[in-house]
Structure formats: structure tokens, C-alpha cells
Chains A and B, each alone.
Chain A
Amino acid sequence: MLMTDRERLAGEIKALAEQHDNCRTALIPIVQEIKQKYRKLDDFAMQVIADQLGIHPVEVYSVVSFYAFLGSAAHGKYIIRLCRTISCDMQGKERVMRQMENDLGIRFGETTADGKFSLEWANCMGMCDQGPAMLVNERVYTRVTPERVHEILEECRRSFGVHATEQKEVYLV
């Protein structure tokens, strides 16, 4: 039997919700998991989550839109979050930002056309003594300089396409 993407997604959400007894407390963990896997959360996914938890889809949207790490919009394979709070600011995050935008050809808040990179701001990420700091997905980079930006992006790019090694995938994703 042919299974559509939607059916598969719905099945996954149902399985996740059932792990948590379809309880509302599972809302954020479910959204986190689905977002990590599919890199977006469309209306259909929010409807299925709502049905499973017995709430209105607007409730799901209201929660998803509240948190900086959630959000329903599609994002790139790598989300680069540069810290903009005071200590990283004083240590030169502005120049890192500029170089990042130059190298990727997008502005902060945007995703590259190939869907590989998203640039986002983060508020204090707890690396104030080693700034400027940034997160690439879950991995943290400290003392980032404008010169290192290229190197970090290349490190991500090496995990795309034919030259990708599985180990790197695991390390960075």
C-alpha cells in the first residue's frame, strides 16, 4: 500500500503523543521532535497534534509562535544562531554577523535558497566569557572571529552531497 507523506507524518505524531498518554504536557516535546526531523511545522501537522491532544489547532499555533526555538516556518538544515547579548556584543559580534551575511548572501532572519542555512539571532546563550558565541544546530562555537566564519560554514557544507561522511552528519546534526 502506498503511504503518503501526510499519513506517515500523522502516524509519527500519533505515536509520539501516545508515548505521553496524549497529554497536553507533551505539546512542546512533540513539536520539538517533529521540527527537528522535518524542519518545519505546517498547518496539517499542527492540526494532527491538536487532534491528538484534544485541543484547538490555534492553541498549538499560539504555543509554537511563542518560543524562539519553535515557530512554524521552514528553516534550513543548519540553523546558525549568533548571540547578540551584551558580552558577545562587546566582544565583536557585529563583525561576525556581517561576515556571516556576506558569506551566505542572506540577512539575519532568512534562509538560503537551497534550504541549507538559516541565520537567526539568539539572546544570551551562556558563553559570555568566551564570546562571540554561536550555536550551529546544537553545537556551540566560541570566540568566533570573522575569519573563522568561512571555515565553520565549510565544515557544515562538507556534510552535504557526495563528499559527506556519515560521521560528520552525526556530529553536526
Chain B
Amino acid sequence: MSPLPTFSTMAPEAGLKQAMALSRPDIIETMKQSGLKGRGGAGFPTGMKWNFAAAAQAEEKFVICNADEGEPGTFKDRVILQDHADLVFEGMTIAGKAIGAKEGIVFLRGEYTYLRSQLEAVLDRRRKQKLLGKAILGSDLEFDIRIFMGAGAYICGEETALIEALEGFRGEPRNRPPFPVNTGFLGRPSIVNNVETLASAACILQKGVDWWKATGTEHSTGIKIFSVSGDCGKPGVYEFPMGITVAQLLKEVAGEGAKAVQVGGASGLCIPASQFQRAIAFEDIPTGGSIIVFGQQRDMLDVLHNFLDFFVDESCGQCTPCRLGNRKLLEGVELLKEGKCSMAYLQELCALGDTMQIASKCGLGQSSPSAFLSVVKNFREELMGRTYSHV
């Protein structure tokens, strides 16, 4: 049984057929009405993104599916691609019609190379079924999809870095604006959407706006797919409505009694037990779906150490706040573990974290200090004056 009940109950290609009957502005209007926000974590309204790209004038446009799922603790896109690839490709085709693109590219992370042959087979079948290629379902719509393999870089989950990689460059994020919806792949208008966003778009076209808005909260509509790992009884992929509280979620995954929950992966927030009543939604705790549960036995400094090792390794090195800031935070965690960090220096590190959030060029550096800052704020009594034996 697939862990994704909503995606499993979708009738094949019903969303696409629905979209074929609609005009381009109507498809975009539907997406806007639904209130769907980007499922990769940034939460940009999908309808607005499609609208910008649709309005841009160009000979060529591109629909790019971001399957470079690299956020620690996230694996929902892998499950969606394994079990519901058709729904993702359907969403891409709908997006292609909406913005007027003829080419779609799936940017699949190198770690998921083993999924490629299976996805290529689905694409081949769709071409035979006239769901891709020229004259889709007998109309004048033309759209095809190819797969591009990533080469192992977390930063390529950032949309402009992803485009740089597609173009054959180092995955270093660009300045925004201009945004990809105007100047994207090869300088053409491009939309970059997460795997889950595209699958959700296909569902919305099929079942309608009201059905989608019936779940979730006012500002975060619909269902969300979560990847749950760490110290809980039932790790795995789950579908929950947006707005679920951390406590409710923990109950579902048999993770009650947790010390803290990391929501949104390494670049997300570390939520202590006292705040488990908070809701997971864009208006409270935003997330791309990564939930990592920490049991009572976990040392938060070990967790931070792991996260900062990750960021030091994955920073592209382009801008100074991120390249050096993460390194200084890592050294700070090492000092704390040795019990050699003064309060004044800890405060300085927090100020550095604030600076990184403001001054870094892209989302990586802007969000990498979040975990550090939230642990310092919420678990202060664990941090200071530790004895050497903890190391």
C-alpha cells in the first residue's frame, strides 16, 4: 500500500484532461485560487510563479522539476517518484500548457540514479500513450520531458544553482532578480517546481479548488507529504493536512516523549518539547516536509555538529558569510563541546548567525544558522560549562 492516500486515489490523467479543456489563464487562475505554495520548503505561491512565466514573452520556455531532494531528513520526493511518477509528469505537462513551454526537464539528484531507468520507462510509455510529444491527446499541445542527472551537490536544490548546473556550470546560485520566471534556463523564462508541487497541481486540476482548500489552513492549503525519521516508532513517509501540530504528528508516528523535533531539515528549526503545540504551516513553522525526531538521550550539540559539518561541506563557497560563517559556527560548537566557550563568544556567534541570515546570497547561508540559533535559544542549559568527558 502506498503511504500516500491522496495521490493513490487520483484517476490517471484526469487532471491533464481537465487542463486541456481550460484556457491557459484559467489553469493559472485555478492554481492561484487553490493557494498551493511551493512544497520544496520556500512556500512561494505556485499560481503566481506560473503567471509570471506565462506573462513573459519568449520563443522558448521551460518547466523544470526539482528532484534534487537533498535536505537532510527528506525522502518524500523519492517515494513520490517511485510510486506516482505519472502524477508528477502530468503536473509538468499541465504546467507546460499553462506557461506555454514545450520542454520539461527533471533534475534528478545523482544519489537517485537507480530511479532513472524506471522513470525513463514511464516517459516512454507516456509518449506511446500520446501523453507526451506532439499532439498530446489529439490536441495541438506539444510537450516532452527529459531527465538530467545531478552530480551530488546540495546547493543545486536552490533553483538558480540548479539552472547553472543544467547549463554546465558550477552550481553557484545567481543573484535574484532577475528570477528564473523571466531569465531562467538558457536565459529563457523557466519555472522550477518541486516534485510534490507538480503532483499536487495535477490533483488540484482533477478534483478542483474547493476539494484542495477543504484541508489545511487559510494560508497553507491542502495536504503535505512529510518525511519522518529519527527517534520514533514508525519512521517513513506520511500525508498530513497542513497546520498539523508537532504534538499530533508525533502521536501519529509514535514519537511521543521526544526531546525536540527538527522541522524543515538541517536548515529548518529545532522545536523543543515546550513548543510542540505549534502548527506546521507556512504561517507558523514552515517546512519542506522533513521531520527529524530527537529522543531524550540525544545531545543537541552532537546534532548541531552534524548539521554544521554538512553545511561547511555543502556551501558553494561563493559568498563570504556562508563560506566562513558556517566554519566559525562549527568551530564554536566544537568549543562548546569541550566546555571552552565563554558566554561573550557565544553571543558573538549568535550575532554572526544573524548576520549570515541577512547577508548570505542564497537560501543555504540564510537558513544554515537557524538550527544553531534555535538550539542556543531553547537548550541553553545544556550548552555551557561542559566538562571534557562529553567530547
Which A residues are closer than 8 A to B by beta carbons?
24-29, 31-32, 53, 62-63, 66-70, 84-87, 89-90, 122-131, 135, 138-140
Contact = CB atoms under 8 A, between A and B. Distances in A.
B306 A89 contact: yes
B235 A129 contact: yes
Contacts, number: 117
A87 B168 contact: no
8 contacts: A24-B167, A67-B171, A69-B152, A85-B310, A122-B111, A123-B310, A124-B72, A126-B75
Most chain A beta-carbon contacts within 10 A, residue among B110, B114, B292, B307: B110
A130 B235 CA distance: 8
A85 B111 CA distance: 14
Given A70-B152, A87-B229, 17 more contacts: A24-B167, A29-B149, A31-B151, A53-B168, A63-B170, A66-B170, A87-B72, A87-B73, A123-B70, A124-B70, A125-B111, A126-B74, A128-B73, A128-B227, A129-B229, A135-B111, A138-B113
A126 B69 contact: yes
Contacts of B154: 123-124
Given A87-B73, A124-B72, A138-B114, A28 B165 contact: yes
B125 interface: no
Interface string B294-334: 00001000010011011001101000000000000000000
Contacts of A63: 168-170
Contact of B151 (A68, A125, A139): A68
A62 B171 CA distance: 11
Given A29-B148, A68-B153, A123-B314, A86 B307 contact: yes
Nearest to B236: A129
B112 interface: yes
Nearest to B228: A129
Interface in B222-238: 227-231, 235-237
Contacts of A24: 167-168
Contacts of A139: 114
Given A87-B72, A124-B72, A135-B111, A70 B151 contact: yes
B3 to A, nearest CB: 10
Nearest to A127: B75
Contact of A86 (B70, B77, B292): B292
A128 B75 contact: yes
A26 B168 contact: yes
Contacts of A124: 70-74, 154, 310
A128 B165 contact: no
B329 to A, nearest CB: 16
Given A67-B153, A123-B70, A126-B75, A86 B227 contact: no
A68 B266 CA distance: 19
Contacts of B71: 124
B340 to A, nearest CB: 24
A69 B230 CA distance: 27
B78 interface: yes
A69 B78 contact: no
A28 to B, nearest CB: 6
B166 interface: yes
Contact of B266 (A66, A86, A131, A138): A86
A131 B292 CA distance: 13
A69 B112 CA distance: 12
